[in-house]
Structures are given as C-alpha cells and as structure tokens.
Amino acid sequence: MKPSAFEYHRPTTPEEAAELLAELGEDAKLIAGGQSLMPMLNLRLAVFEHLIDIGGLTDLAGIEHVSDSVVVGSTTSQAAVGRSTTVLETVPLLSRATPLIGHFPIRNRGTLGGSVAHADAAAEYPAVALTLDAEIEALSSAGRRTIPASEFFTGMWTTALRDDEVLTKVTFPIREGRWGFAINEFSRRKGDFALAGACLAVKVDDNSRVENCSIGLFGLGSMPTRATSTERSLVGCSIDELQVRDVAHSAVSGLESVPADLHGSAAYRTRVGATMVARALKNALEEATDD
C-alpha cells in the first residue's frame, strides 16, 4: 500500500520546524530517517496531512563530548553513532546497542532522535536512554526545555513531547570509575524486534560491593522501564554473594502489561526477560571488575 496524500515541508532550521508544528497542529508529523514512520504510513496505520522533514537539518546532527557528558544531535544517524569512537569510549552501552538495531540499511537512515521520539517499547535506544539517565532537549516556538528520560516515556509510542516540540538532542552522562555495561536481547531472527531485552549499568567499589546499578527493560511492556526496586536492593551487596538468577527474577517480577501475541505469551516473554537480565548483569559485573 501507499500512504494517504500529504503535503511535504522541508524547513531550513529547527526553529522553522517548530513554527510549522505550532501552525499545523495535530495534522502534522515530523520525519527524519523515516524508518519507523514510513511503514506505518504505507500501511495506513497512521495518517497525517503534513510531513515536516527535518532529516536534512545539519544543526541537529553530530556527536560532541562536552565536559562530563556526550551530546548526540537528534538527526544523527544510528550508523554514525555506531561508528563514533567518542561514543565507544565514553558511552559504551549506546555503542553496543547500535548493532542490534535492524540491519545496516535501516541504521544508515534511521536516527537516534527518531528512535527515542518514536518510543517503541521494544527498541534499544529508548531503553539505553532510560538506563543511563539521559536528558532529552525539546524545542518549540516558546523556547527550549530539558526532559529527563525517566519522565519522557509515557506509554505505548507516546512521550512527554508536546505537539509543537522538536526533539533536538539527547545528552548522555559519562560514568567514571569501575563501571560495567551490557545489553542483551532475544529476537526470533537477527535484525527483528526484541521479544525481551535488558540494559545494565553497574558500578563496583574498591571493596567489591555494588555502589550503583541501573537495570533497563525493553520489550516487556508498553514502554521501556527500570527495575528500580531491584536496583536499590543491589546497592551495598558483595558481588561475590550475588545470586544472579534471583536478581534477574526480581527485576521482572510484578511487571504489568507484558505483551502476549503470536510471538509469545506474557509468561514466555517474562522468562526470556529474566534470562536477558541475568546475562547482562553477569557481563556488566565482569567488565566492572576487570582490572
């Protein structure tokens, strides 16, 4: 199928894009790489009278190391994130998540900001942003504001972005010290969406105890989530005494709205999710203690 007819707009600045959104209202939709939006338009699962193409806005592209964080422009391609030595050295979890996204042609067109704004519950970048406590900047005709990732994802394919806002950049904090990072996911085939996945960031102190921990889950609900109670319970624990399997089951216990479809029941996805948490925790701890 082909999309319904729409009017195409190509602004030359982010401010112009924000003004168009304010002017056209809910009948308008931003498009950058189009790897998520175009299939939905072609299948007529979504219909918009206006498409505002921000993919060519160079002001919104690029990766910059600023003080204790890395700033990624929203129209930066996923392939560029994957190639970046800056990301590899300073935000390794983001670098490791990138090859898991679809296939190379998709990553070559898809953008980091587009993935975060689309907020697919099974997508890697939203889960990474949530796990690393990233901050998302939004621009509207009224100005700019910063939204913590913990407040950004609000439901299935929905975010805290207002109808007149353009996602301009995502800022990832750099973690210093004995940190370990890992992302594990399960999909039917390489490049398919994740049935269940986990992101781990764990810091170990000099006494081999967990000093800090973040556990992000994806594919296990209507949006990416954090296993906050399990995170808190791990702080202060000796890594030699950790029961990884028990931690993994704790992380997925009590999850609400776990998907159930032809790809697997909710119970199946929950079991897979626990396995992904266990593998990611094991890998992250090994990295954190690899002196």
pLDDT in tens, 56-88: 999 999 999 999 999 999 999 999 999 999 999
In a shared domain, residues 168 and 73: yes
- The answer as to whether 32 is a domain residue is yes
- The answer as to whether 2 is a domain residue is no
| Domain closes at, from 121, 144, 173 | 173
In a shared domain, residues 195 and 160: no
Domain, as residue range, for 109: 58-173
Q: Are the C-beta atoms of residues 74 and 34 closer than 8 Å to each other?
A: no
- Cα separation, 202 vs 183, in Å, equals 12
| DSSP category for residue 264 | B
- Cα separation, 19 vs 53, in Å, equals 13
In a shared domain, residues 213 and 119: no
**Residues 149-164: what's their mean pLDDT?**
96
pLDDT of residue 223: 97
Looking at the DSSP bridge assignments, the partners of residue 144 are 139
**Residues 226-243: what's their mean pLDDT?**
97
pLDDT classification of 146: cutoffs 50, 70, 90: very high
Pairing of strands 50-53, 7-9: parallel
pLDDT of residue 66: 95
Among 223, 204, 203, residue whose Cα is nearest residue 214: 203
In a shared domain, residues 49 and 66: no
Angle formed at CA 180 by CA 238 and CA 281, multiple of 5 degrees: 65
- The answer as to whether 225 is a domain residue is yes
Hey, what are 291's tokens?
């002196």
In a shared domain, residues 68 and 169: yes
- Cα separation, 212 vs 257, in Å, equals 28
pLDDT of residue 177: 95
- The answer as to whether 154 is a domain residue is yes
| Domain closes at, from 122, 154, 173 | 173
CATH of the domain at 112: 3.30.465.10
pLDDT tens column, 84-110: 999 999 999 999 999 999 999 999 999
pLDDT of residue 134: 98
In a shared domain, residues 64 and 100: yes
pLDDT classification of 240: cutoffs 50, 70, 90: very high
CATH of the domain at 201: 3.30.390.50
CATH of the domain at 12: 3.30.43.10
Q: How many CB atoms lie within 10 A of CB 263?
A: 14
- Cα separation, 44 vs 264, in Å, equals 26
pTM to 2 decimal places: 0.96
- The answer as to whether 70 is a domain residue is yes
In a shared domain, residues 196 and 165: no
**Residues 126-132: what's their mean pLDDT?**
98
Pairing of strands 50-53, 135-140: unpaired
- The answer as to whether 98 is a domain residue is yes
Question: Hunting for tokens 């689309």 — which residue is that?
Answer: 118
In a shared domain, residues 62 and 146: yes
For 177-265, where are the alpha helices, taking DSSP H only? 228-234, 244-252
Q: How many CB atoms lie within 10 A of CB 265?
A: 12
In a shared domain, residues 168 and 191: no
Hey, what are 81's tokens?
């994130």
- The average confidence (pLDDT) of the chain is 96
Q: Is 102 left (phi over 0), alpha (psi -120 to 50) or beta?
A: left
Q: Are the C-beta atoms of residues 32 and 75 closer than 8 Å to each other?
A: yes
Angle formed at CA 86 by CA 285 and CA 137, multiple of 5 degrees: 95
| Domain closes at, from 129, 150, 173 | 173
Domain count, the chain: 3
In a shared domain, residues 237 and 277: yes
Which residues have a Cβ under 8 Å from the Cβ of 72 and sit 6 or more positions away? 62, 63, 81, 87, 94, 112, 113, 169, 170, 171, 172
In a shared domain, residues 42 and 62: no
Among 127, 128, 124, residue whose Cα is nearest residue 92: 128
Residue 45 in this model has a pLDDT that exceeds 80 = yes
**Residues 223-250: what's their mean pLDDT?**
97
Residue 291 in this model has a pLDDT that exceeds 80 = no
- The answer as to whether 267 is a domain residue is yes
- The answer as to whether 1 is a domain residue is no
In a shared domain, residues 14 and 74: no
pLDDT of residue 191: 86
